[in-house]
Amino acid sequence: MNDDLLELEITGFAHGGYGVARYEGVVVFVAAALPGETVLARVHTRRKRFWFAVTEVVAVPSPDRVTPPCPLARPDLCGGCDLQHASLTRQRGLKSQVITEQLARLGGLDRSVTVAAVPGDRDGLDWRTRVRYSIAPDGHVGFRRAGSSHVVVVKDCPIATPAVREAEFAGTRVTAGAWPDAEEVIVAAGSEAVAVCPVPGGDRRQVLRESVLGVDLWVGVTGFWQVHPGAAPALASAVLANVAPGARVWDLYAGVGLFSKVLAHRGQQHLVCVEGDRRASDQARKNLRGSDVEVVRSDVARWLGGRSDVDTVVLDPPRSGAGREVLDGISATNASRIVYIACDPAALARDLRIAGDSGWMVGSIEGYDMFPMTHHVECVAVLDR
């Protein structure tokens, strides 16, 4: 039955932020546990080949264990920051280990990848520029407990930027008449201003200005944007460093046009920016107005069919990865380089294996700690043929 309390020795660390143990031949994924620790953990989910458990008592702690900066950083409370119990150095080491293991297991690659801090990150706190708060039935504001609809009231979130944390309602109550239909509220801090948008019921047309490497972009408050202030500059710099100035470039899954904008600002010609989401594509068109960039709203796989005149593809797919159809479509072109931006190591590894089947060789792979205190990590891989 579930809810058994087990004594477990944590021998590894898995994708998703779990410590790994074995109990009577079964793999147990343990939340809030670090390699080298002995813990008492309560099993809450059993599958045929593996179980999930949550640490309740740390009997033998790792020397890398620290007191979380946030008292709510526990699986039974907020749960969003699933690595606050590890030192920042250890967090990055664990993320590096996960990337390396995923590349080997799913990608067939023997690579050691270092995960580095992004510029401006000091202690892993005060970085999140966009926060989606949930509103409880009684009007209190907070975050949903992991795996639950229960809202944990949050009065102060230490990973959010000061501008976000100073929003007047945070940790308080939304009055009944303010946003009667809202279930969530988004607080977003741009380069100069802060916007608050209830969902549903808010003005989804709100935009914020983001300044990156000398260019300005306007980004929808409810749309996608990198939440660490150092993330967009770091990724844009990586793209600039790996795209030859004279190359014909396709910017696929382009969002609001960040990479196209910085490439055009550098003087890049022959740029095509492709994005399937209507709002993001419309915003990209506005951001790239006056630039010599063709902006296309289309499903990427559908758009690729029959096209070939490209030298370098900048590929920034969703968390699930690009997949075989898109990668086969790119392989059918004249492209000789892919600059792949990935937010999931497992999806990246699977896609690199697919690309390898079509003759692509993996060059550099860099890891970026754009989500400190969590298990999430960003990578940039360069492929050539």
CATH code at 37? 2.40.50.140
> φ, ψ for residue 189 (rounded to 5)?
-110, 120
Instruction: Tell whether 335 and 240 lie within a shared domain.
Output: yes
How many domains in the chain? Answer: 3
Q: Given the structure tokens 């994005």, which residue do they identify?
A: 275
Residue 76: C-alpha distances to residues 1, 30, 99, 152 (Å)? 20, 13, 27, 10
Within a domain: 71:
no
Q: Which H/E stretch holds residue 356? A: helix 345-357
pTM of the model: 0.94
Angle at 305 between CA 302 and CA 307, to 5 degrees: 130
Q: Given the structure tokens 């419309």, which residue do they identify?
A: 282
Instruction: Tell whether 266 and 357 lie within a shared domain.
Output: yes
Catalytic site residues?
343
Instruction: Tell whether 358 and 250 lie within a shared domain.
Output: yes
Domain interval for residue 29 = 5-65
Q: How confident is the model at residue 1 (pLDDT cuts 50, 70, 90)?
A: very low
CA distance 84 to 67: 8
Query: Are the beta carbons of 259 and 274 closer than 8 angstroms?
Result: no
Instruction: Tell whether 235 and 361 lie within a shared domain.
Output: yes
Gyration radius of the chain's alpha carbons: 22
Within a domain: 241:
yes
Instruction: Tell whether 275 and 319 lie within a shared domain.
Output: yes
pLDDT digits 0-9 by tens, 84-96: 999 999 999 999 9
CA distance 240 to 222: 27
* Burial of residue 308 (number of CB atoms within 10 Å: 0-12, 13-18, 19+): exposed
CA distance 85 to 315: 34
Instruction: Tell whether 240 and 326 lie within a shared domain.
Output: yes
Instruction: Tell whether 188 and 281 lie within a shared domain.
Output: no
List, as one string, the DSSP characters of 233-283: HHHHHHHHHHS-TT--EEEES-TTTHHHHHHHHHT--SEEEEE--HHHHHH
Within a domain: 365:
yes
Instruction: Tell whether 197 and 328 lie within a shared domain.
Output: no
List, as one string, the DSSP characters of 155-185: S--TTB-HHHHT-TTTTSB--TTTSTT-SEE
Instruction: Tell whether 240 and 335 lie within a shared domain.
Output: yes
- Give the chain's largest Cα–Cα span: 65
Q: How confident is the model at residue 357 (pLDDT cuts 50, 70, 90)?
A: very high
Query: Are the beta carbons of 337 and 273 closer than 8 angstroms?
Result: no
- The per-residue pLDDT for 198 is 82
Instruction: Tell whether 347 and 377 lie within a shared domain.
Output: yes
* 202-209: average pLDDT: 85
Instruction: Tell whether 138 and 117 lie within a shared domain.
Output: no
pLDDT digits 0-9 by tens, 236-291: 999 999 999 999 999 999 999 999 999 999 999 999 999 999 999 999 999 999 99
Structure tokens at 9: 């020795």
Instruction: Tell whether 146 and 111 lie within a shared domain.
Output: no
> φ, ψ for residue 157 (rounded to 5)?
-110, 110
Within a domain: 104:
yes
